[in-house]
Amino acid sequence: MWLDFTAMVGAGKSTLAAAVCKDNEIREYFQERVIYIEVSESPDLLTILKTMWKNILDGTAPDFTNVPKAHKELQSQIKSRNQPILVVLDDLWSTLHLQNLLFEETQYKTLVTTRDREVITKGPNTRIYELPLLQQEHALSLFCHYAFDKPSIPIGRDKELVENVQQQCNGLPLALKVIGSSLYGKSDCDWEQAEKRLSAGGPFNDDHKQSLLNKLKTSIVVLDDHERECFLDLGAFPQRKMIPAKALLDIWVYVREMKSAQAKMLLGKFADRHLLELKKNTGTSETTDDSMDGYSVSQHDVMRDLALFLVNQDISIHRRRLYMPKMKNQLPSELDDFSSKAHIVSIHTGAMEDSQWPKMEFPKAKALVLCFTASEYCIPTFLHTMKNLRVLIIHNTDGAKRSKLSGVAGFEQLSQLKSLHLERLIVPEECKVSKSLEKIYMSLCEGLDRDKTFDFPGL
């Protein structure tokens, strides 16, 4: 049996699904075997199936090479064990993806959240719940919670003005939270300006996502120019990716040339405004300094889409940023078209070989984000031409195993490199890095000859 929560974007499907996972009665019924899986628009199904294997069967998944084989074997294992379990598949976009992630067994239950109920194949064991928008009373209470830190409109505030702004959010919890937070502590004049900007965006129409982006845009335009640039930097990271806080801070420090304390304050401001979420990693020990060790940053899909939407609206900004928002097997042509002006480059692919990388140059690039899902990955040949590169982030997003890295010869030629972030990688021992390096972060990595790699004066 499986249950589907369906609703428009920003209506709170993921929040409800997360609440289900934490419910004590549900966890007791399933004997604590409740598993939450984020799917998203362009998922790596093989990696998700390996993660499901690990969490459902409490063991490392075999090295499957294709989705049908992995699905068949996992289905067999689930039937043989016959254990009560609830699996939540959050943010599903495709019927094909659903078919590859569904399993049958008497005590095996699946909860799916989706924006489009058409992806759901109805059957005798399917239950669909359409999540309604918040009614006016509840919407106003939620809005006031974020705008005033109170359950209702405070005495002395313009009631009509507050209600007009709140109603522009269309009962969507995400809009109520973000727009309400953007007006916290603001004067009536600021509220009046917000009402004008929201009204100018027009009413919600059939294109719900675009309407929501137009409303949320008003919470970004009130930031100063430098803050807006920093918000747009968040689009460089893949969808649903937990970003180490230090990776984002290093971009702001070394590319935006912010002071470290200033960057941390802005991170806190963005978190307070719900433009991002700042989380302390599970099991991380407390630190006595303010280094942000053990903290990660994440974004609601819509807030990341907002960053990409604003980037694409302004061609001058677009040229300074080259983002691949989804994982692809081939590089888009615009990487070459705008490579000469790009300051931040983000590339999200599967496995890449040396011959697949085009010959390009990025003379102005100061930050490069390489995210991939593959067992082997070759560093792009153009990396060694990025003489102004200051921040290099290489993350393998396969949650099941490390990736073998190649093409690392020449790292020491990056004479301006200050910060290097490596995640889930097997790095060759011969890898050498420029003496200019000040920070290196490694998570779940192996390899690297410590004597050759870490003896730097500024590290």
pTM, rounded to two decimals: 0.85
Is residue 289 scored above 60 in pLDDT? no
Is there a single domain that holds both residue 140 and residue 121? no
* Comparison of pLDDT for 411 and 414, the residue scoring more: 414
What are the tens digits of pLDDT across the range 438-456?
Answer: 998 988 888 876 665 566 7
The CA R_g of the chain, rounded to the nearest whole Å, is 23
Q: Is residue 230 part of a domain?
A: yes
- What's the CATH code of the domain at 250? 3.80.10
* Helix or strand run (H / E) with residue 127: strand 126-130
Give the tens place of pLDDT for each residue, 103-160.
888 888 888 888 887 777 777 778 888 888 889 999 999 999 999 999 999 999 999 9
* Closest-CA residue to 364 (of 296, 416, 329, 404): 416
Tell me which residue range forms the domain holding 295. 225-453
Whether 102 has a pLDDT exceeding 90, the answer reads no
Residues 260 and 409 in one domain: yes
More confidently predicted of 447 and 418:
418
What confidence tens digit (pLDDT) does each residue in 227-255 have? Answer: 999 999 998 988 777 888 999 999 999 99
Establish if 300 belongs to a structural domain: yes
Q: What is the pLDDT of residue 177?
A: 94
Mean pLDDT for the stretch of residues 372-398: 89
Q: For residue 10, what is the domain's CATH number?
A: 3.40.50.300
- Residues 72 and 182 both lie in one domain: no
Residue 279 and residue 426 in one domain: yes
How many domains does the chain contain in total?
A: 3
Q: Are residues 259 and 382 in the same domain?
A: yes
**Mean residue pLDDT across the chain:** 85
The verdict on residue 459 lying in a domain is no
Model pLDDT for residues 4-58, shown as the tens digit of each residue: 777 777 888 888 888 988 999 999 998 888 989 888 777 888 888 888 888 888 8
